[in-house]
Amino acid sequence: MPKPNPLLIVQITAEMKPYSKTGGLADVTGALPKALAALGHTVITITPLHRTIEPKDFRLKRLLLRQTIVIDNRKYHYNVWEHQPEEGSRVLFIDQTEFFKRRHRLYGYKDGNLRYYFFCRAALETLQALAVKPDVIHCHDWHAGLVPNLMMRSDRYRAYFYETATIMTIHNIAFQMAESGRRLRKKDAGRGLPVETPSEIARLNFMRRGTIYADAISTVSGQYAREIRTAEFGNGLEDVLERRRKRLFGILNGIDYTHFDPRHDTNVAVKYHLADLYKKHRNKSILQKMLGLDVDDNVPIIGMASRITEQKGFELLFEVLPDLLKSHVQIAIVGSGDPAYEKIIRKFKQDFPDKVGIQLEFSEKLASIIYAGSDMFLMPSRFEPCGLGQMIALRYGTIPIVHSVGGLADTIVDYDPQRKRGNGFVFQDFTPLALLAAIVRGLESYKYRDRWEKLMRSGMQQSYSWELPAKQYVRLFRFARAKHRRRSALSFKAHPQLIKKINQP
Render pLDDT for 118-139 as a digit per residue (tens, 0 to 9): 999 999 999 999 999 999 999 9
What is the band of 422 on the pLDDT scale with cuts at 50, 70, 90? very high
In whole numbers, what is the pLDDT of the chain averaged over residues? 92
pLDDT in the model for residue 381: 97
What is the band of 491 on the pLDDT scale with cuts at 50, 70, 90? low
3-state secondary structure of 45: strand
Q: How far apart are CA 336 and CA 23, in angstroms?
A: 12
Q: State the DSSP H helix or E strand holding residue 407, giving kind and residue range, or none if neither.
A: helix 406-411
Residue 268 has pLDDT above 90, yes or no: yes
Residues 300 and 401 in one domain: yes
- Going by DSSP bridges, is the β-strand pair 399-403/425-427 parallel, antiparallel, or unpaired? parallel
**Is the residue at 269 inside a domain?**
no
**Is the residue at 297 inside a domain?**
yes
Residues 215 and 249 in one domain: yes
pLDDT in the model for residue 184: 44
Segments forming the whole domain that contains residue 374? 274-460
pLDDT in the model for residue 489: 64
Task: Find the mean pLDDT for residues 232-236.
Answer: 95
Q: In angstroms, how far is CA 215 from the centroid of its own chain?
A: 21
**Is the residue at 299 inside a domain?**
yes
Q: How far apart are CA 299 and CA 295, in angstroms?
A: 9
pLDDT in the model for residue 192: 74
Residues 454 and 470 in one domain: no
Q: How far apart are CA 79 and CA 68, in angstroms?
A: 9
**Is the residue at 231 inside a domain?**
yes
pLDDT in the model for residue 499: 43
Residues 230 and 306 in one domain: no
pLDDT in the model for residue 502: 37
Lowest mean pLDDT among 193-197, 256-260, 408-412: 193-197
**Is the residue at 268 inside a domain?**
no
Q: What percent of the chain has pLDDT over 70?
A: 93
pLDDT in the model for residue 487: 72
Task: Find the mean pLDDT for residues 58-83.
Answer: 95
Task: Find the mean pLDDT for residues 300-329.
Answer: 96
Q: How far apart are CA 252 and CA 470, in angstroms?
A: 10
- Going by DSSP bridges, is the β-strand pair 61-71/74-86 parallel, antiparallel, or unpaired? antiparallel
* Residue 130 vs residues 44, 49, 64, 80: alpha-carbon distances, Å: 12, 18, 9, 10
| Spatial CB neighbours of 331, under 8 Å, sequence gap ≥ 6 | 301, 302, 304, 321, 324, 325, 348, 355, 356, 357
Q: How far apart are CA 193 and CA 156, in angstroms?
A: 12
pLDDT in the model for residue 191: 64
Segment 383-409, tens digit of pLDDT: 999 999 999 999 999 999 999 999 999
Residue 218 pairs with which residues in a beta bridge? 169, 249
Categorise residue 19: left if φ over 0, alpha if ψ from -120 to 50, beta otherwise: alpha
pLDDT in the model for residue 23: 86
Residue ranges with strand state E in 238-347: 248-250, 301-305, 330-334
The dihedral formed by the CA atoms of 424, 429, 431 and 436, expressed in degrees to the nearest 10: -30
Q: How far apart are CA 197 and CA 443, in angstroms?
A: 57
Q: How far apart are CA 492 and CA 365, in angstroms?
A: 53
**Is the residue at 1 inside a domain?**
no
Q: How far apart are CA 317 and CA 311, in angstroms?
A: 12
**Is the residue at 259 inside a domain?**
no
Task: Find the mean pLDDT for residues 319-336.
Answer: 96
Residue 234 has pLDDT above 50, yes or no: yes
Measured N-to-C along each axis, helices 146-153 and 206-213 cross at an angle, to the nearest 10 degrees, of 50
Q: Which amino acid is at 451?
A: R
Residue 34 has pLDDT above 80, yes or no: yes
Residues 446 and 497 in one domain: no
Q: How far apart are CA 258 and CA 264, in angstroms?
A: 8
| Phi, psi for residue 156 in degrees, rounded to 5 | -60, -45
Count of domains observed in the chain: 2
Instruction: Give the residue from 4, 112, 131, 3 showing the smallest Cα distance to 48.
Output: 112
Question: Exposed (0-12), middle (13-18) or buried (19+): which is 307, by Cβ within 10 Å?
Answer: middle
Residues 54 and 172 in one domain: yes
Residues 308 and 193 in one domain: no
What is the band of 163 on the pLDDT scale with cuts at 50, 70, 90? very high
Segment 165-215, tens digit of pLDDT: 999 999 999 999 986 544 444 556 566 777 778 888 988 999 999 999 999
pLDDT in the model for residue 179: 66
Q: Identify the CATH number of the domain in which residue 451 sits.
A: 3.40.50.2000
Residues 137 and 235 in one domain: yes
Q: How far apart are CA 281 and CA 452, in angstroms?
A: 14
Q: How far apart are CA 113 and CA 209, in angstroms?
A: 13
Which has more confidence, 332 or 493?
332
Q: How far apart are CA 100 and CA 46, in angstroms?
A: 14
Task: Find the mean pLDDT for residues 434-452.
Answer: 97
Residues 380 and 322 in one domain: yes
Q: How far apart are CA 180 and CA 341, in angstroms?
A: 20
Question: Exposed (0-12), middle (13-18) or buried (19+): which is 381, by Cβ within 10 Å?
Answer: buried
Residues 194 and 231 in one domain: yes
pLDDT in the model for residue 186: 52
Segment 366-377, tens digit of pLDDT: 999 999 999 999
Residues 246 and 296 in one domain: no
Residue 222 has pLDDT above 90, yes or no: yes
Residue 493 has pLDDT above 70, yes or no: no
Residues 174 and 49 in one domain: yes
**Is the residue at 301 inside a domain?**
yes
Q: How far apart are CA 229 and CA 226, in angstroms?
A: 6
Which has more confidence, 208 or 490?
208
pLDDT in the model for residue 501: 46
